[in-house]
Amino acid sequence: MLRLAVLGLILACAVSLSSTAVILENGLPIMWAQTASQVTELPMQDGIVTPDPWQFLHRLSFYRLIIAATDPFMGSMGTNATDSPLWGLPLQLGWMSTSGRLADPTGATTCGLQTDPMCISTQSWWSCVSYFVSALPFLSAAQQGFLGAGVQVQMQVPEGVQDYCTTYADCAARYPDAMAKWDAFFQGLKASTDSPLPENEKKDAILGLYWAAQMASIYASAACSAKQSHYSSAEVTFANSWLNSAEYVAAARFQSSLEKSAMFMSPMPSRILKDGDNAPHIADLSQEENHTLSIFSWIKNINTLLGGSLVRMWKSAMCSVSTRERGRSLLEQLLLNPGFATSTFLSIITGMSTSC
């Protein structure tokens, strides 16, 4: 099974060098069929689950197990099996892998390269940020009973690496806000089954808890910032604008289903950016990738020029179920429609923020 997974990841990486990012395989996240479908398929020691989050299939398995465990509580998301907002996370991890962003950026090891494609580097800024939106929710899900009664988890950690929390208690002590918000999300899912709210409001409330947890993990990942020194200034600029974009997606409570997430992930840059890469004129990236990079950069630059008021204005505009719905549509237009004028985006936000 692992040999098949390795071959598949090598092929996906090879394809991504010549086209947009490869994130799907037979309509599901890459390598999905090779992941653990039961928590007992992960390594165990003395009755404790001991997964290796620095192995791609293990980290991907966290998502498969969480999605399966939470699906019974996701009825308000829709009738499809892939409507859960959690599907965005494995697609994001797959994009990071096939675009080379989980590999060792220092070049000191072969971790993440074609000779060792299942390895996730502890030196990668991207894999560090990903740790906060994979290991932390998995530990919280176990603590809240979603993986079975009494299941305890202890993350493996490579020798000599000390800057990652490995248990629920450890992560809760070091990143209390992130763990508290993941706990609130899982507890909120359970409570939603007895909620008298209409389905659209129940869905909005669950998405609100989900994105609050996501953003708390992203804020906690500031612990990864020193690892950005391994990358080009172009990649660092993109990484920071990618983080900044999460503020808008979260405030709009984007339903990151498999289908919607694939739309937004496909035009993400399929390789690490180099010095001199200047969108929208990067010759070996597609028109869609160049457009995505340009929009990310524009949003970040405008917000900086306005002293952070673009984010504040957007958040204040996302004040109700209906305005958040409109906000999601606006983000789709901005990111996926090259003909959509950025000035239109600004004028609409201004109008929306005054109507709340």
pLDDT band for position 180 (cuts 50, 70, 90): very high
User: For position 15, what pLDDT does the model report?
Assistant: 43
- Residue 8 has a pLDDT of 53
DSSP state of 107: S
| pLDDT at position 268 over 80 | yes
pLDDT at 5: 52
Residue among 325, 298, 302 nearest 313 (CA): 302
Q: What is the CA radius of gyration of the chain?
A: 20
| pLDDT for the residue numbered 344 | 85
| pLDDT at 187 (0 to 100) | 98
Q: Is it the case that residue 159 has pLDDT exceeding 90?
A: no
Model confidence at 348, pLDDT cuts 50, 70, 90, reads confident
Mean residue pLDDT of the chain comes to 93
Q: What's the pLDDT score for residue 353?
A: 73
- Residue 26: the pLDDT is 95
Give pLDDT tens digits for 286-343: 999 999 999 999 999 999 999 999 999 999 999 999 899 999 999 999 999 988 888 8
Indicate whether 130 pLDDT > 70.
Answer: yes
Q: How far apart are the first and last CA of the chain?
A: 53
Q: Residue 345: pLDDT band by 50, 70, 90 thresholds?
A: confident
3-state secondary structure of 29: strand
For residue 18, what pLDDT is reported? 42
- Span 12-68, pLDDT tens digits: 544 444 456 789 999 999 999 999 999 999 999 999 999 999 999 999 999 999 999
**Residue pair 130/99 in contact by the 8 Å Cβ criterion:** no
Spatial distance between the Cα atoms of 28 and 16, rounded to a whole number of angstroms: 17
pLDDT for position 142: 98
CA torsion 185-192-208-154 (nearest 10°) is 10
Closest by alpha carbon to 324, among 244, 246, 249?
249
pLDDT in tens, 198-243: 999 999 999 999 999 999 999 999 999 999 999 999 999 999 999 9
CA angle (158, 34, 163) in 5-degree steps: 20
Taking residues 109-130, report their average pLDDT. 96
Tokens at residue 45, please? 């020691």
Domain ranges (residues) in the chain:
2-230, 263-356
Please compute, for residue 300, the number of CA atoms within 13 A of its CA located in the half-sphere on the CB side. Answer: 17
